[in-house]
Amino acid sequence: MARNRMYLYGKNSILERLKFGPESIRQVFIQENFNAPRITELINSHNMPCRRVSERDLLKIKRADRLQGIVAEVTAYVYTPFEKLLHPEGKEERSLIFLDGLNDPHNLGSIMRTAACFGGLGIVIPSHSSCDVNETAIHVASGGENFVPVAQVTNLTTALLKAKKSGYWAAGTVVEGGQDICRTSLPFPLCLVLGAEGKGIRYGIQKHLDLKITLPMRGAQLSFNVAMACAIFSYEITRQRG
């Protein structure tokens, strides 16, 4: 697959892209028995190249579960420059979610969807030892990629230090030993750092944190996966930010 293109699949992902980013769509492939009037209407209104193909041919274009009868060839995902996240032009400052060593695109997609739903959030990922915003992540995001900016940086620690110099506070999530998020007054503007499952936040980043926060769990001694934890922390950030 050419590096300047990707494939979206599934009704929700393509519907949201048709509504909020139609210029990125090159062509659409729909299964012969595909029936979704709103999607078809938008394809026609934008005069997009569209081909009806068999289920077998659709799977040749994009092999994945739950294609739902539609695939769209789109331009490759465009990351937001980190400086634009730190200094948005004419927009309210965002709280930034730093993802340290996240390797599962399903979790990244879930986090993108969460951030899009709450609003006022941006995501920062490293270019090494981390998954990219790939087709799987975008599929799971279900259109969230149209609303939440993601910056990809060479060095996550350097980016966090740059954010702190710009006035941001750095809070890191830990399984135990941190301040109870329910009883902590969060400082803003805020960078929330989430570590990889099992490994947590690397020491090189931990030493630059201003505070460590924990989710209280009074039930079974298990733990949330990173996407679930991010959703809870994002809710509390949004609630406190007002």
Shared-domain flag, residues 63 and 152: no
Q: Which range of residues forms the domain containing residue 150? A: 82-241
Domain total of the chain: 2
For the domain that residue 134 is a member of, what is the CATH number? Answer: 3.40.1280.10
What six digits make up the tokens of 198?
Answer: 């099992």
Shared-domain flag, residues 141 and 61: no
Shared-domain flag, residues 159 and 213: yes
Q: What is the pLDDT of residue 221?
A: 60
- pTM, two decimals, is 0.94
Shared-domain flag, residues 138 and 217: yes
Euclidean distance between CA atoms 210 and 172, whole angstroms: 8
Shared-domain flag, residues 219 and 166: yes
Domain finish residue from 41, 75, 109: 75
Blockwise average pLDDT, block size 10, the chain, 242 residues: 83 96 97 95 96 96 93 97 90 92 95 97 95 96 96 97 97 91 95 89 95 85 84 96 88
Instruction: Render the burial of 2-32: b for 16+ CB within 10 Å, e for the rest.
Output: eeeebbbbbbebbbbbbeebeebbeebbbbe
Contact 8, 14 (CB under 8 A): yes
Shared-domain flag, residues 144 and 95: yes
Shared-domain flag, residues 102 and 36: no
Shared-domain flag, residues 31 and 128: no
Q: Can the peptide bond before residue 189 be classed as cis, meaning omega within 30 degrees of 0?
A: yes
